[in-house]
């Protein structure tokens, strides 16, 4: 079974076209820089003397920036070429990360975090429109999953490198703050390199490319919004909002969780996060198999609910082996459904609403994350990590129940094996 699944993935990627392959290469470099930055930025802020509440405020501003940019970016994908958007986003992300690694005044860090959130979200938002445009319907489930898998693979490498970089740079400087800052600058450079494969993407290879036809006027865009099925959009967005609320309470602080509860070093935290990303890769590889077996709706609900006991173990257990195993399994199960939820949402709405739906899902998630990251930092500072973990688990359960209630009557969307015609490589 694993060999067959991997073989299907290889054939799908090889047959997906030049643009799709360059796109996956650019995503890998973006993910590499972002994972290094995400691993070390909290630790860097702690070295600057910020407390948990202050760190939470900065992280929440990054999510707020992503939420503010979600809808405008959707319309940019209608007006500009994919290449122009992604090349620009790679350059701007490097600038924003450089500012975050250089500035020390809290109010300036808040601004830089907001700016970075606005541009970094472009890469996640690009997955659905690029795949829906560039590849055939039979291959889309594999490419959705492959895009997330590429990001997770980048996170594995980035977590290992990010954990080792401060130790390497400390051989050049006695300052832990400078060692972390130089590591963050390295992440900026890797993110900037993503512009190269993005630039090599060409217009016209996929089904359509914005810029090849006149862009819709603002009046046309308003008319399109008027005919959107907002009831369906709300049903898709509400569970995503609850997941974002739960995730924001604890996920941004998990590196600090392992440092504070178990005294781990940056290198040990990096290895731990790299291993967790490995579980996410495995989960994503089996995402299409889950959708074939259970359907998209049942697959999303089952994987989310299965992750909850492991979150409870993170909250309540003091055993390091139990916590580590729960950390790995929670990450693999919870993130297995990311390509499933995105694919389901894209299949539920007309093609003209893909960008709007994708942006609304991202907007809902990031607004919720922004609110709860601020709350989570303050709650951790006052009460520790247990209560945020328990609240997050409860929100995940509620989101799963609502998803099942909203969509249990929808005929399960599967990709039958006979329809997946991927040429042998």
pLDDT, tens digit, for every residue of 29-55?
998 999 999 889 988 998 888 888 888
pLDDT 10s digits, 262-311: 988 888 888 898 888 788 777 767 776 777 777 778 888 888 899 999 99
What's the pLDDT score for residue 417? 40
**Residue 238 to residues 243, 367, 407, Cα–Cα distance (Å):** 9, 12, 12
Q: Give me the chain's average pLDDT, please.
A: 81
Q: What are phi and psi of 315, to 5 degrees?
A: -75, -40
What's the pLDDT score for residue 257? 93
Residues of the chain with pLDDT > 90: what percent?
24
**Residue 41 to residues 108, 251, 276, Cα–Cα distance (Å):** 15, 14, 19
Higher per-residue confidence, 72 vs 258: 258
- DSSP conformational letter for 172: T
Residue 137: is it exposed, middle or buried by C-beta count within 10 angstroms (0-12/13-18/19+)? Answer: exposed
pLDDT level of residue 205 (50, 70, 90 thresholds)? very low
> 236-261 in b/e burial notation, b at 16+ Cβ within 10 A?
bbbbbbbbbbbbbbbbbbbbbbbbee
**pLDDT at residue 422 is higher than 50:** no
Mean pLDDT of the 235-258 span: 90
**Residue 28 to residues 150, 160, 343, 370, Cα–Cα distance (Å):** 6, 15, 20, 25
What's the pLDDT score for residue 230? 84
Alpha carbon distance 416, 421 (integer Å): 10
**pLDDT at residue 393 is higher than 80:** yes
What's the pLDDT score for residue 387? 93
Highest CATH level, class, for 15-201+229-413: mainly alpha
What's the pLDDT score for residue 203? 64
């Amino acid at each position: 079974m694993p060999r067959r699944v991997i073989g299907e993935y290889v054939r799908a990627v090889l047959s997906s076209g030049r643009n799709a392959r360059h796109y996956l290469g650019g995503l890998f470099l973006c993910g590499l820089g972002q994972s290094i930055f995400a691993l070390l930025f909290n630790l860097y802020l702690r070295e600057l003397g910020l407390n948990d509440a202050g760190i939470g405020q900065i992280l929440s501003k990054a999510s707020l920036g992503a939420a503010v940019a979600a809808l405008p970016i959707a319309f940019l994908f209608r007006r500009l070429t994919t290449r122009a958007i992604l090349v620009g986003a790679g350059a701007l992300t490097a600038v924003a990360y450089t500012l975050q690694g250089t500035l020390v005044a809290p109010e300036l860090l808040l601004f830089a975090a907001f700016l970075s959130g606005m541009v970094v979200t472009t890469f996640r938002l690009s997955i659905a429109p690029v795949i829906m445009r560039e590849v055939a319907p039979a291959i889309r489930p594999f490419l959705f999953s492959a895009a997330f898998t590429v990001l997770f693979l980048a996170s594995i490498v980035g977590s290992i490198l990010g954990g080792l970089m401060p130790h390497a740079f400390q051989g050049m400087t006695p300052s832990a703050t400078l060692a972390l800052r130089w590591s963050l600058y390295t992440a900026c450079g890797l993110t900037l390199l993503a512009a190269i494969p993005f630039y090599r993407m060409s217009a016209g290879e996929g089904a359509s490319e914005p810029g090849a036809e006149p862009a819709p006027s603002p009046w046309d865009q308003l008319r399109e919004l008027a005919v959107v099925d907002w009831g369906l959009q709300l049903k898709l967005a509400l569970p995503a909002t609850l997941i974002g609320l739960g995730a924001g309470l604890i996920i941004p602080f998990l590196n600090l969780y392992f440092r504070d509860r178990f005294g781990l070093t940056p290198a040990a935290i990096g290895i731990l996060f790299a291993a967790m990303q490995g579980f996410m890769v495995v989960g994503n590889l089996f995402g299409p198999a889950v959708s074939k077996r259970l359907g998209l709706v049942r697959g999303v609900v089952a994987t989310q609910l299965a992750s909850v006991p492991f979150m409870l173990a993170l909250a309540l257990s003091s055993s390091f082996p139990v916590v580590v195993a729960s950390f790995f399994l929670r990450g693999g199960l919870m993130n297995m459904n990311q390509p499933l939820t995105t694919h389901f949402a894209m299949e539920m709405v007309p093609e003209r609403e893909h960008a709007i739906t994708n942006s609304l899902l991202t907007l809902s998630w990031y607004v919720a994350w922004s609110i709860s990251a601020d709350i989570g930092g303050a709650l951790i500072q006052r009460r520790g990590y247990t209560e945020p973990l328990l609240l997050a688990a409860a929100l995940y359960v509620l989101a799963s129940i609502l998803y099942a209630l909203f969509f249990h009557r929808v005929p399960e969307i599967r990709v039958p094996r006979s329809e997946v015609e991927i040429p042998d490589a």
